[in-house]
């Protein structure tokens, strides 16, 4: 958080107890069920990736799934914490505090996307409510694209033979 935004931060509500507070202090929950589901789907299809990899030059920010060679990062965003247009809710109690917190999360997401893309990464984001098999297919599609575009790995690839996962 930068100095200029400090003055506008509403006080943390007194009613927020320790456990909730600890949870809120993390950017997101780790290893959520949808995220695990996506990872399993990718793994089954033969993809290998890094999990919770720190983002270079962005302290305390991590990517859920990273394909380092292809420069592809994937995030599975929680509907509440990242304000999904379908399920995102605005808590009524301590509304100003929550507004600040949640809009801060969204702004950080967009900032992360911009900085990653500027550094040459493909950024994919899925909502936790999305079908993770479909998400895995989308990830594979982007991976194929990136690998074809680079096209100098020395390995002969057959782009029209997708790896089939068990359905």
Strand order in the sheet with 122-127: 50-54, 62-67, 72-77, 122-127
Stretch that binds Zn ion, among 5-13, 25-33, 49-57, 80-88 (CB under 5 A): 80-88
3-class DSSP string for the chain: CCHHHHCCCCCCCCCCCHHHHHHHHCCCCCCCHHHHHHHHHHHHCCCCCEEEEECCCCCCCEEEEEECCCCEEEEEECCCCCCCCCCCCCCCCCHHHHHHHHHHHHHHHHHHHHHHHHCCCEEEEEECCCCHHHHHHHHHHHHHHHHHHHCCCCCCCCCCCCCCCCC
Contact call for residue 129 and Zn ion (CB under 5 A): yes
**79 or 106: CB nearest Zn ion:** 79
Among positions 87, 141, 150, 157, the unique one binding Zn ion when judged by CB under 5 A: 87
Are residues 124 and 139 in contact, defined by beta-carbon separation less than 8 angstroms?
Answer: yes
Among 22, 86, 92, 156, binds Zn ion (CB under 5 A): 86
Identify which of residues 49 and 127 has a Cβ nearer to Zn ion in the complex: 127
Least gap, CB of 48 to Zn ion (angstroms): 28
Site string for Zn ion, 30-69 (x = CB under 5 A): ----------------------------------------
Closer Cβ to Zn ion, 47 or 78, answer by number: 78
Rule CB under 5 A: say whether 84 interacts with Zn ion: yes
Indicate whether 85 belongs to the interface with Zn ion (CB under 5 A): no
Per rule CB under 5 A, is residue 127 in the interface with Zn ion? yes
Which parts of this chain interact with Zn ion (CB under 5 A)? 79, 84, 86-87, 127, 129
């Amino acid at each position: 958080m930068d100095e200029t935004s400090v003055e506008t931060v509403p006080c943390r509500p007194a009613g927020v107890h320790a456990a909730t507070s600890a949870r809120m202090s993390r950017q997101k929950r780790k290893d959520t069920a949808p995220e695990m589901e996506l990872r399993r789907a990718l793994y089954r299809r033969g993809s290998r990736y890094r999990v919770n990899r720190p983002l270079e030059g962005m302290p305390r920010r991590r990517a859920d799934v990273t394909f380092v060679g292809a420069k592809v990062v994937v995030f599975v965003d929680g509907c509440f914490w990242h304000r999904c247009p379908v399920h995102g809710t605005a808590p009524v109690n301590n509304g100003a505090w929550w507004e600040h917190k949640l809009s801060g999360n969204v702004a950080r997401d967009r900032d992360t996307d911009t900085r990653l893309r500027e550094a040459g990464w493909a950024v994919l984001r899925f909502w936790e409510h999305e079908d993770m098999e479909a998400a895995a297919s989308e990830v594979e599609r982007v991976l194929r694209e990136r690998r074809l575009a680079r096209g100098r790995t020395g390995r002969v690839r057959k782009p029209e033979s997708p790896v089939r996962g068990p359905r």
